[in-house]
Structure 1
Amino acid sequence: MIKLLIVDDEQVERDALQAILEKNFSDLVVKQARNGRIAIEAAAEFQPDLVLMDIKMPGISGLEAIKKINLDYPTIKFIMVTAYATFDYAHSAMKLGVVDYMVKPSKVSDIVDTMDKVLNQIEQEQKSLEEDKHQQHTMQKAMSVFETDVVTQLLFDHVHEVHLNELVEMLDMQITKEKFIMNLLLPLGSEVYYSAIREKVRKAGSGWVGALYGRQLPIIVFRKKDQSYRAQATFLAREILTLAKPDGDAGWFIGIGNVYSSLNQIRQSYQESLIATRDMLLPVKYRFYDDLPSLVPGFDEQTSKQYQQQFFDLIRNGQWKEMNTSITTLINHYEQDGTNILQTQQHLMELLFLVSQVLSEMGVELDSPIYSFQSTDYRQLRAETSHLLERLQLSYQDRHANLEEDTIEHIKQYIIEHAHQNISLDAIGKEVGLSPIYISKIFKEQLGINYINFLTECRIEKAKKLMRDPDKSLKAITFEVGYHDPNYFSKVFKKLCHVSPTEYRKNIHG
């Protein structure tokens, strides 16, 4: 329905116009105003789509009323109704955005023709506005999906800087050189909080939220120049923690890694954020990695970090043999240096905790590994450490034994069938019952490319087939294959096919 306001100081004129219009147009809601002042008030309350405005009225003139209403409600359209069809009036009215005018008295046919033309224009604009809103809503949903996948690739898939720039371009956010990771641990079954957490980060205007799997939710936070790192991280952590129920926040905790600039270092920040969650029994439910008390006083911090990073990568890549060798080498190193046995055991506990956290993010549910007794010599420590590692490896193998080949085929088929949708690693994970991180890992290992590249290839191949139909527009094809921006689709198409969609279509129809 289109809302119409008729403004005239003559009752007869208003009633006559209303009768004519209601007889000829069934989709109008009509109100009247007898002067310019009432018209301004009615515009605020009624908010019409179209106003038929008499120009000559006592008090506030029609032109003055149009000017005032247009200032507050620029989308309202006006048809000027006047007995003075002079150039001066028409010129002034057009400057105010009046779309047409009618001279009093007018033939019924002229009134109907003028109204029909303007109402069609309004309907087309409303339809276009609705399409834009729908497209914008769809784009926002797509961007949310895209954001989680960018985080997953940044932290776990070794995305190169050049590729990253293309991904970031779609997210329309100015990223800063310095960034750090906040790793949020949630109680199991806390998926209902995901949207609210994303909204908190969005309002802060400083980060991307990854995919939630199990209890872990990684957030990449970009450093703000006008705030210290600690102030920014503390503010965001407190904002997120306001979502926890006062009587049920035991499972909420945030580990905060250090600030880094390169992509390799941002993975170091993620690792630090995991380690920062090792002790959640604190009155404050967040902790900076740098504030962790050392489990092993006197150990060289740099050497400790190097071992952490090494084990972090080995476990993530499933290199258990190398992991065992590195652990053994580390224990031998400490024994040769005469390191206190208790200090060595404490350091190994920290490394094994990191291993358990990596396995947890990959969907392997297990208790944190702990030594059942205090070792009295290095022989016992080697044996107990080997036993704990064997338990962790068995948990990993039990969860993922014989999954890779069948799972990859399942994932490939799922992507092919749903390529036109806002498909994500998270959605694939729910389909096959694996973590997004593990899916990314095995997909790349098995096929040599990450899943986004495979998804892109599926979409472009479908687009090529659709281009054979000369009646399909490129815009329609863009939406049909799963993209929401024709310009971005064209850019992706040209990168893969080395010609633009328009050139490709000309070639196949040539």
Structure 2
Amino acid sequence: MISVLIVDDEEIERTSMSLILSKAFPKLEIKLAKNGKSAIEIANSFQPDLILMDIKMPGMNGLEAIKQIKQSQERTKFIMVTAYDTFAYAKEAIKLGATDYILKPSKVTEITATIGQVIEQIEAEQKEADARQLELINYERSKRVLETDMVTQLLFDHVHDVHVDMLMEMLNVSKTRESFVFVVLLPEGLESKYPALLRKIKQIDNVWVGALSGRHFPVIVFRNEQSFRAQAIAIVRQALPPADQQLEPGWSIGIGQVHQLMDEIKRSYQQGLIAGLDQTRANQYRFYEDLSLGQNSCDQLLEKYRTKDFFDHVRLGRWEEIQQRLTLLIQCFQKEDYPIQVVQQRMLEMVWLIGRILDEMDIKMTWASVTFQSQSYQQLSRELGLYLSQLKGNHARYIQSMERDSMHQIKHYIMQFSHEDISLDLLADKMGLSPIYISKMFKEKLGINYIEFLTECRIEKAKQLLADPEKSIKAITFDIGYHDPNYFSKVFKRQTGLSPKQYRVQIGLLG
């Protein structure tokens, strides 16, 4: 509905104009003001789209009222209402930005024609503004999808360099910007808190929040002018529930170290997982750099193994290698004559780490409640071996059931709905799989990641639409699922070697 304010010091003029407009344009919302000062007060609360302003009024005249109203309401349009002898004032009003003027007296048809033209202009501008706002909303939604997926791609080795630069550019982030990762572990059964936490954390600048995997999710934080620890603590306090609330047991946050390059950010994620392992520190956050790792050779060997190799061994199901490494660690601690209780705790932390990694793949296990009762190193080795055998069976059954027809279904879904905002989270929800597992499956089965496959589908669709000369490139951008014509053009050229315009010329020549 378009709102109109009629300003005139003569009541009969105000009332007559209101009756004319109500009859000609029944959907208008109309208010009246008797002078310039009253017009300013009403305009501040009413926020009219159009003001019909008399020029000659006692006290503040119409020109001064226009100047003051336009300071706070730039979008409001003005039509001046003036007598013949004040026409010079109308010309000055036009200079101030008034859209048109109406002479007093005028015929009803002349009044409605002038005002009707301005109303049409307002409606067109509102429609254009709504379209821009929708584009902005879709663009921001698309950016959030990209951010979540980029976290998965970067932290789990499923990204290809061919798209990293363009995605980083679209998200306005430099690949050489310092960053770190913290990992949030939710209490068992409270995974539903993730959307609320996501909204809270996203209110902070310079963070990307990853998808929920099992009970934990990662957050990439880009460094600001604060110290590393001050920035991390401020964000973590926003992520956790308020300290005065009664917290359910099981909350923990591990904070990895700062890394200079985005290519190194995966290491910070692994450090965050390790830092958050201690289940006795519930409702706490812990920095990886604060861990007491010990200086003996066994602790150093443990730290060396808790890196990329261990994560890869678990994800690929290399249980014999895992058991062999952990058995060697137990033997090392035995030679150093470590107390059996300390060694049990070290192995328990490794089990917790395995549990977190399997959570990423939606392989469910009660890792948080695992305990070891061994009274000797040999018993501990056997107890650990039995537990790993159980994990091996669970992992194998999961892989066998998940891979059956999953790849075909995912590809079919992406091809059918490539014009929509498709995220790893959405695919995971549709297919009943983990987003990280879907990303991993694309890389292993097709040699590309899901973003590249989605891009191929969109570019093929774009080629078909470009063959229609009536379709603008901007329209094609939105039709195939992008929200920025410039980004679409860059992707299209990267994929085909031609810009969309050049491609149209080429198919025209071939035709």
Asked whether the two chains share a fold, i.e. TM above 0.5, the reply is yes
Partner of 2:460: 461
Shift of 1:268: 1.9
Q: Which shows bigger deviation, 476-485 or 314-323?
A: 314-323
* Letter in structure 2 aligned against 1:458: C
* 8 Å contact kept, 1:478–1:485: yes
Pair 1:477–1:54, CA change in 2 (3 A): same
* 8 Å contact kept, 2:183–2:218: yes
* Letter in structure 2 aligned against 1:21: L
Structure 2 unmatched ranges of 5 or more: none
Partner of 1:141: 141
* 8 Å contact kept, 1:181–1:266: yes
Q: Which shows bigger deviation, 285-294 or 416-425?
A: 285-294
Shift of 1:50: 0.2
Partner of 1:307: 305
* Letter in structure 2 aligned against 1:307: Y
* Letter in structure 2 aligned against 1:82: T
Partner of 2:120: 120
Asked whether 1:167 is paired with 2:167, we answer: yes
Q: Deviations over 1:295-354 (max 9, x none)?
A: x6734655432211121222223333443454455556667x656473655544433332
Q: Distance in 1 between matches of 2:202 and 2:157?
A: 24
Q: Deviations over 1:206-234 (max 9, x none)?
A: 21000012211111111222x12111111
SS in structure 2 at match of 1:373 = coil
Pair 1:115–1:73, CA change in 2 (3 A): same
* Letter in structure 1 aligned against 2:201: V
**TM-score of the superposed pair, with normalisation by structure 1:** 0.91
Partner of 1:23: 23
Partner of 1:320: 319
Q: Distance in 1 between matches of 2:98 and 2:53?
A: 10
User: How many percent of aligned residue pairs carry the same amino acid?
Assistant: 48
Give runs of aligned pairs for residues 401-412 of structure 1, distance below 5 A.
401-412=400-411
Shift of 1:86: 6.7
SS in structure 2 at match of 1:401 = helix
Partner of 1:375: 376
Pair 1:301–1:497, CA change in 2 (3 A): same
* Letter in structure 1 aligned against 2:44: A
Q: Deviations over 1:429-461 (max 9, x none)?
A: 112221111111112100000001001111111
Asked whether 1:14 is paired with 2:19, we answer: no
Partner of 1:70: 70
Pair 1:189–1:165, CA change in 2 (3 A): farther
Give runs of aligned pairs for residues 75-90 of structure 1, distance below 5 A.
75-84=75-84, 88-90=88-90
* Letter in structure 1 aligned against 2:474: K
Asked whether 1:45 is paired with 2:49, we answer: no
Q: Distance in 2 between matches of 1:192 and 1:84?
A: 70
Q: Distance in 1 between matches of 2:380 and 2:188?
A: 34
Shift of 1:87: 7.4
* 8 Å contact kept, 1:188–1:214: no
Shift of 1:97: 1.6
Shift of 1:140: 2.1
Give runs of aligned pairs for residues 96-107 of structure 1, distance below 5 A.
96-107=96-107
Structure 1 unmatched ranges of 5 or more: none
SS in structure 2 at match of 1:374 = coil
Pair 1:267–1:174, CA change in 2 (3 A): closer
* Letter in structure 2 aligned against 1:358: I
SS in structure 2 at match of 1:78 = strand
Partner of 1:220: 220
**TM-score of the superposed pair, with normalisation by structure 2:** 0.91
Give runs of aligned pairs for residues 358-369 of structure 1, distance below 5 A.
358-368=357-367, 369=370
* Letter in structure 2 aligned against 1:247: Q
Pair 1:96–1:305, CA change in 2 (3 A): farther
SS in structure 1 at match of 2:405 = helix
Give runs of aligned pairs for residues 56-455 of structure 1, distance below 5 A.
56-84=56-84, 88-159=88-159, 163-172=163-172, 177-225=177-225, 227-242=226-241, 246-282=245-281, 284-294=283-293, 298-299=296-297, 302-309=300-307, 310-327=309-326, 330=329, 340=338, 342=340, 346-368=345-367, 369-377=370-378, 380-455=379-454
Pair 1:95–1:197, CA change in 2 (3 A): farther
Pair 1:262–1:370, CA change in 2 (3 A): farther
* Letter in structure 2 aligned against 1:428: L
Shift of 1:389: 2.2
* 8 Å contact kept, 1:7–1:51: yes
Q: Distance in 2 between matches of 1:206 and 1:299?
A: 39
Pair 1:191–1:507, CA change in 2 (3 A): farther
Q: Distance in 1 between matches of 2:170 and 2:472?
A: 23
Q: Distance in 2 between matches of 1:283 and 1:318?
A: 29
Q: Distance in 2 between matches of 1:181 and 1:170?
A: 21
* 8 Å contact kept, 1:52–1:81: yes
* 8 Å contact kept, 2:176–2:261: no
SS in structure 1 at match of 2:81 = strand
* Letter in structure 1 aligned against 2:385: S
* Letter in structure 2 aligned against 1:239: Q
Shift of 1:243: 6.1
* 8 Å contact kept, 1:341–1:376: no
SS in structure 2 at match of 1:180 = strand
* 8 Å contact kept, 1:275–1:289: yes
Asked whether 1:5 is paired with 2:5, we answer: yes
Q: Distance in 2 between matches of 1:146 and 1:446?
A: 22
Q: Deviations over 1:351-383 (max 9, x none)?
A: 333222211221111122543413345xx5544
Pair 1:488–1:113, CA change in 2 (3 A): same
